[in-house]
């Protein structure tokens, strides 16, 4: 086995050990699992729902389900896939439940009062362009992009999380990439 495969198997074994302990009501194992996934889940949820007040609620709801249903985890998928699937479903329910506030898209593009070096400005501009383009995607499309590029999950894992066929994930990614390319056309060469 390669070093990466060994690490992956070792991480999977550690996750299986943790979730088994959590399933038996081990609070310390749950705290460890929480620490391991909290940052990744928060980032995923923040990019998916883009409403900080909802992110914390969905994170708590997700981890409550993990605590309550840990004994139900059978190991048919990676633990991260199972947890992200719970988070995705909870996020989609929360988005439907809350009114989406109207965003001030110009707020992110306003120039800072402080003078910044050219590189910092270029990075900020690129970040804003990407954020603006991502904001225009539907939650499903943002989810596919987030899980692919920022969580490094395969289309098969994403399909499990989103509870849809792999071809649907591929289609969503196709349309998300096309939209991002269209939004960023003519903008990126000036800043990269």
Average the pLDDT over 59-76 and give the result: 92
Yes or no: domain 1-101 corresponds to CATH 1.10.1740.10: yes
Q: Which of the four pLDDT bands, split at 50, 70 and 90, describes residue 59?
A: very high
Q: Which of 33, 34, 60 is nearest to 45 (CA)?
A: 60
Q: What's the pLDDT score for residue 51?
A: 82
Q: What's the pLDDT score for residue 96?
A: 83
Encode pLDDT of 32-57 as tens digits: 999 999 999 999 999 888 888 889 99
Which residues, including other chains, have CB under 8 Å from residue 6's CB and lie 6 or more apart? none
Tell me the pLDDT of the chain averaged across its residues: 83
Q: Which CATH number applies to 106-192? A: 1.10.10.10
Average the pLDDT over 144-167 and give the result: 90
For the chain, the structural domain boundaries read: 1-101, 106-192
> Does residue 191 carry a pLDDT above 50?
no
Q: Which of 84, 81, 40, 95 is nearest to 62 (CA)?
A: 84
Q: What's the pLDDT score for residue 115?
A: 43
pTM: 0.62
What is the residue whose two structure tokens read 């199972």? 82
Q: Which of the four pLDDT bands, split at 50, 70 and 90, describes residue 185?
A: confident
């Amino acid at each position: 086995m390669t070093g990466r495969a060994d690490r992956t198997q070792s991480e999977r074994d550690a996750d299986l050990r943790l979730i088994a302990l959590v399933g038996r009501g081990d609070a310390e194992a749950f705290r460890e699992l929480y620490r391991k996934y909290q940052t990744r889940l928060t980032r995923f949820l923040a990019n998916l729902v883009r409403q900080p007040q909802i992110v914390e609620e969905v994170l708590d709801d997700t981890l409550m389900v993990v605590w309550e249903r840990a004994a139900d985890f059978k190991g048919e998928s990676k633990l991260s896939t199972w947890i992200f699937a719970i988070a995705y479903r909870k996020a989609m329910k929360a988005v439907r439940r809350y009114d989406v506030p109207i965003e001030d898209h110009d707020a992110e593009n306003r120039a800072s009062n402080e003078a910044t070096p050219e590189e910092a400005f270029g990075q900020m501009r690129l970040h804003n362009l990407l954020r603006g383009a991502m904001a225009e995607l539907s939650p499903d499309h943002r989810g596919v992009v987030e899980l692919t590029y920022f969580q490094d999950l395969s289309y098969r894992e994403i399909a499990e999380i989103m509870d849809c066929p792999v071809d649907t994930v591929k289609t969503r990614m196709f349309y998300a990439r096309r939209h991002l390319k269209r939004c960023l056309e003519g903008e990126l060469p000036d800043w990269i």
